[in-house]
Structure 1
């Protein structure tokens, strides 16, 4: 059931909306928004919509306030549609940010920040690869295959912006590794991508559950060191055709 907004989330009645910092949704007409209370109001005439994408400018506009943060809900997720604010306020924030970015100190800070991100990413890739190998837990006879498999999964799952389960921080890395392996196998060793799945609530989840069970059964052969595990194996075929540079 949808949750009711708390009093703290609702617009105040003791001040005009244009003097309040609010969270809003797109309205039914141009230059209108819907408040969290459900009320539709016009955007002030001297306001403009700052598109999302420039965090530095957005922070400065918000600091100057007041602003209306516009979000649109699609399914369970909310997506930023920008920030309504005084047009002059936005222009000043852009000019200020441009001046800051033109300085040598800012350029140096950006280079250093990039290096830190690269170091952090490389460390995470190594940790994730190790977590995948640990989850696979293949018998020593298949250790080389385990490393190749882990590399294929890691290359797919860890790039920044990939949107995969490996990028989430909500679950431990061990669970991320497990989920990434099962997801990779679902797409590479089963016919999932070509399946015609009925649009019935829970049907896709059930199909994934069944395919995950098949994948775990296949992994069990390699964990036990079964001599015939690789024979006519879809995993072996998929890894042969996968680049792991």
Structure 2
């Protein structure tokens, strides 16, 4: 789920005037006459407006950190830089650079998807008789976790790819093989963590059955059921 930044209020705003070393936190301030607000979104445009003249950077506190939501600057500077930016975006040279950059990102993403899927298969380590199940599970986890912007553990670089693969598998199983998403968890400190831990243990036991080559009833196994749903969804998307 994508988390939205909270709406900015005088209590959550921090205005920074780097040129004059001023910092207004939790106060209502009035920008100079002729200034206009430029929301965050186009990093190149924001950077150029900053370089072009005086400005106030506006931040809001989000998850206990300062997060930029835009800046105030003279309206004529913003208008001029917007015009320059629009012309640049429409130029053939920019479109060529953009296409080349996209191809490079796509190649990098494809390489990472292959590496991540291999790490998932290594973590699963299913017995030969269940290799087909391992392949399907690796596909499902990779498809869910790897896309840019997914917000999953697979996108973090703070832990190794092996740890990412393990965490992604367990998270996928928690959401797909249990009723975790529909649970009503008491608002008690540590309760949700405890529930996740119990579900994770159940998921690891299911994985152990496949690793050891045990006979697993595919009609009742929660993992098998989840993979059948995944297969049906893939079929619908390909129609």
TM-score under structure 2 length normalisation: 0.82
Distance, in Å, in 2 between the alignment partners of 1:128 and 1:85 is: 44
Evaluate the alpha carbon distance shift between residue 229 and residue 136 of structure 1 in structure 2; reply closer, same or farther with a 3 A threshold. farther
1:155: which partner in 2?
143
Q: How many residues align?
A: 219
Q: Residue 188 of structure 2 corresponds to which residue in structure 1?
A: 200
Q: CA-atom RMSD, angstroms? A: 2.3
Cα distance change, pair 102–186 in 1 and its aligned pair in 2 (3 A): same
CA distance in 1, matches of 2:103, 2:155: 19
Task: Label 1:65 to 1:176 Cα distance change in 2 as closer, same or farther (>3 A).
Answer: farther
Q: Which 5+ residue runs of structure 1 have no aligned equivalent?
A: 1-9, 12-16, 25-33
In the alignment, which residue of structure 1 is the partner of 2:6? none
Please give the alpha-carbon distance, in whole angstroms, between the structure 2 residues aligned to 1:21 and 1:214: 56
Q: In structure 2, what is the equivalent of residue 217 of structure 1? A: 205
Residues 1:70 and 2:58 aligned together: yes
Distance apart, 1:63 and its partner CA: 2.1
2:178 to 190, 194, 197: 190
SS at match of 2:184: coil
Q: Which residue of 1 aligns with 2:118?
A: 130
Q: Distance in 2 between matches of 1:76 and 1:186?
A: 28
Deviation, 1:239, is: 0.5
How far is 1:76 from its partner?
4.0
Q: 1:18 to 1:237 in 2, by over 3 A?
A: closer
Q: Is the 8 A contact 2:219 2:225 kept in 1?
A: no
Find the counterpart in structure 2 of residue 227 from structure 1. Answer: 215
2-structure distance, mates of 1:106, 1:116: 15
Q: Match for 2:70 among 63, 79, 82?
A: 82
Q: Does 1:164 align with 2:155?
A: no
